Amino acid sequence: MSESAAATPEPSPETVAIAVEGLSKSFDGRMVVDHLTMRVMRGQIYGFLGPNGSGKTTTIRMLCGLLTPDSGSGTCLGLDIRTESRKIRERVGYMTQRFSLYQDLSVRENLEFVARLYGVPKPEQAAAAALERLGLAGRGRQLAGALSGGWKQRLALGACILPSPDLLLLDEPTAGVDPKARREFWAQIHDLAAEGLTVLVSTHYMDEAERCHEIAYIAYGRLLAQGTVASVIAASGLSTWTVEVKGAEGHAAGQVITALSRALGSRPGVDMVAPFGTQLHISGRDAAALEAAIAPFRADPKLTFRQDAPTLEDVFIDLMGRSKDELR
Ligand SMILES: Nc1ncnc2c1ncn2[C@@H]1O[C@H](COP(=O)(O)OP(=O)(O)OP(=O)(O)O)[C@@H](O)[C@H]1O
């Protein structure tokens, strides 16, 4: 056992919201979740990332007992995901990708309806409290169908928290929502977590991943990285350089970057090149090989090379590429 493993004590069960081991699920003979082990602590905002079709929704559905795993076991809120799924569902708020509200009911009526559906005591007061809590008070009479995407999502979140769940499972809650509305939505999520709610949220947005306490990255059903953003970046072992074009702007700089990108992309030691406007990001897993690859270009007086910390996006693209290589 390593020193760090020996030094990390097992958390007490009441501090753990989700603990699953070896979860697998196949559809039509194809394994879409492959021996997934993960742990989410209570009060945490846990980000779930991965390409389309990587198994995030399937995992979420197994966690709240809507789907039975083919193999593996674990608990959600201390309850067995195989045998106590009904009890789990009573304590979980699940916002699906296709969360639908009654378009021709008002915001307030939607919330009152959900409150009644879940047997929440004093549904009218509960709906009013949810309106207040989510900054929807001024929109109570507006028809849900007339809300913009961002407000709709906020209403959907309001409906999810009405029955006072202990855990929120949010499946891409901000897909297609503009940056300002996403920011406001995330402020709500942080407020809810500060009140003690655990939040597992899937997203494709890097800025949202950076707002989570911990993240997990899943590709082809396999968990490839897990931990804080800083630890996931550190564990990637990636070396990254940024190149800028001196004395040129716009189209001219773009042409230099495109040519450089083509020239570097095929060199050994370069695992990824990505243009960002008039800059080029170059990454590699072997720092020495990467330096050797860029060495001939560093003498060019038109270019400035700067060693940089890899971004989360660099790390995910690299992980994705690696898992593809493994499957070939
Ligand atoms: N009920 C089902 N029957 C057959 N195949 C399914 C079923 N549910 C999911 N799949 C398949 O399993 C794979 C994983 O899907 P899943 O929805 O879990 O991925 P995801 O990571 O949530 O994707 P996205 O980011 O696009 O939402 C996909 O190829 C999907 O088509």
Q: Check if 61 has its Cβ closer than 6 Å to any atom of ligand 1.
A: no
Both 170 and 251 in one domain: the answer is: no
**DSSP structural state of residue 204:** S
Both 52 and 175 in one domain: the answer is: yes
Q: What is the pLDDT of residue 177?
A: 87
Interatomic CA distance for residues 248 and 185, integer angstroms: 40
Q: What is the pLDDT of residue 3?
A: 46
Q: What value does the mean pLDDT take over residues 48-60?
A: 94
Q: What is the pLDDT of residue 216?
A: 96
Per-residue pLDDT at 79 exceeds 60: yes
Q: Is 314 inside any structural domain?
A: no
C-beta atoms surrounding 89 within 10 Å? 16
Nearest to 260 by CA among 239, 240, 282: 282
Q: Check if 276 has its Cβ closer than 6 Å to any atom of ligand 1.
A: no
Share of the chain above pLDDT 70, in %: 95
| Number of domain units in the chain | 2
Q: Is 316 inside any structural domain?
A: no
Which residue, judged by its Cα, is nearest atom 17 of ligand 1? 57
Which residue, judged by its Cα, is nearest atom 3 of ligand 1? 27
- Nearby residues of 62 by Cβ (< 8 Å), 6 or more positions away: 20, 23, 25, 33, 68, 69, 81
| DSSP letter string, 25-57 | EEETTEEEEEEEEEEEETT-EEEEE--TTSSHH
C-beta atoms surrounding 276 within 10 Å? 11
Share of the chain above pLDDT 90, in %: 66
| CATH number assigned to the domain comprising residue 250 | 3.30.70.100
pTM: 0.88
Q: What is the pLDDT of residue 7?
A: 64
Both 222 and 291 in one domain: the answer is: no
Q: Is 178 inside any structural domain?
A: yes
Q: What value does the mean pLDDT take over residues 19-46?
A: 96
Q: Check if 58 has its Cβ closer than 6 Å to any atom of ligand 1.
A: yes
Per-residue pLDDT at 8 exceeds 70: no
Both 88 and 152 in one domain: the answer is: yes
Q: Check if 50 has its Cβ closer than 6 Å to any atom of ligand 1.
A: yes
**Distance of CA 55 from the midpoint of ligand 1 (Å):** 6
Per-residue pLDDT at 34 exceeds 70: yes
Q: Check if 203 has its Cβ closer than 6 Å to any atom of ligand 1.
A: no
Both 199 and 217 in one domain: the answer is: yes
Lowest-confidence segment of 70-84, 86-100, 237-251, 263-277 by average pLDDT: 237-251
Look up the domain containing 246 and give its range. 239-309
Both 301 and 169 in one domain: the answer is: no
pLDDT digits (tens, 9 = 90+) for 230-264: 999 999 999 999 999 877 667 777 788 888 899 99
Q: What is the pLDDT of residue 148?
A: 86
Contact 118, 163 (CB under 8 A): yes
Per-residue pLDDT at 100 exceeds 60: yes
Computed over every residue of the chain, the mean pLDDT equals 90
Q: Check if 52 has its Cβ closer than 6 Å to any atom of ligand 1.
A: yes
Interatomic CA distance for residues 60 and 170, integer angstroms: 9
**Distance of CA 277 from the midpoint of ligand 1 (Å):** 34
Both 44 and 156 in one domain: the answer is: yes
Which residue, judged by its Cα, is nearest atom 2 of ligand 1? 27
Interatomic CA distance for residues 7 and 302, integer angstroms: 50
Q: What is the pLDDT of residue 259?
A: 87
Atom of ligand 1 nearest to the CA of 97: 27
Both 18 and 152 in one domain: the answer is: yes
Q: What is the pLDDT of residue 222?
A: 94
Both 221 and 251 in one domain: the answer is: no
Q: Which of 198, 216, 233 lies at the terminal end of a domain, its last residue?
A: 233
Q: How confident is the model at residue 94 (pLDDT cuts 50, 70, 90)?
A: very high
Both 49 and 156 in one domain: the answer is: yes
